[in-house]
Amino acid sequence: MILQALALTVCASAIGGCAGTGEAPAATPVMELTLTSETGRTLKLSALRGRASVLFLFATYDPSSQLALTPLLAATQHEDRVTFVGIAVQPDAQAFLRPYREALDIPFALYFDGTQALLQGTTALGKLPGVPAFVALDAQGHVRKTFVGVPNAGDVQSVIESAL
């Protein structure tokens, strides 16, 4: 059921139905989440503290998520002030992360949310409105901005600047 709702939201974002940004207020909660890589290595978002981060939330089967990679990959080539982390938000993500990363030549680490906290809406983001989504975290781990939908280069730069 959650996956169906996510798929409908993805379709809506592909036609522009939910694309947009949201500025987070200054007192946002700290983003806490434990992620797992395709090799089983874990990453706690708290380990990123001290450095601004941009989270790319995606689904490996989603064409909009693949389209969102174009401006994101361009930004990663010249941006060294933030850490980029990809997070697959689908139940079967572990099986698809390695082929996804290799096929699309993604230079940053990819993880999945094994707890399903993002899909269940139990993180500082609340209910995830759809994928692809970008989340700017400042150096203390606070959510500073979100963008949902297929971004252009300016949208990605705006998320990056919000993290800084």
**Structural contact between residues 139 and 51, judged by C-beta atoms closer than 8 angstroms:** yes
* CA 26 – CA 127 distance, rounded (Å): 19
Q: Which domains does the chain have, with CATH numbers?
A: 2-163 (3.40.30.10)
| Residue-level pLDDT at 28 | 76
**Structural contact between residues 67 and 104, judged by C-beta atoms closer than 8 angstroms:** no
**Structural contact between residues 104 and 26, judged by C-beta atoms closer than 8 angstroms:** no
Predicted confidence (pLDDT) at residue 23 exceeds the cutoff of 80: no
The pTM of the full predicted model, rounded to 2 decimals, is 0.84
- pLDDT tens across 88-122, in order? 999 899 999 999 999 999 999 999 998 999 999 99
Mean residue pLDDT of the chain comes to 86
Class of residue 49 by CB neighbours under 10 A (exposed 0-12, middle 13-18, buried 19+): middle
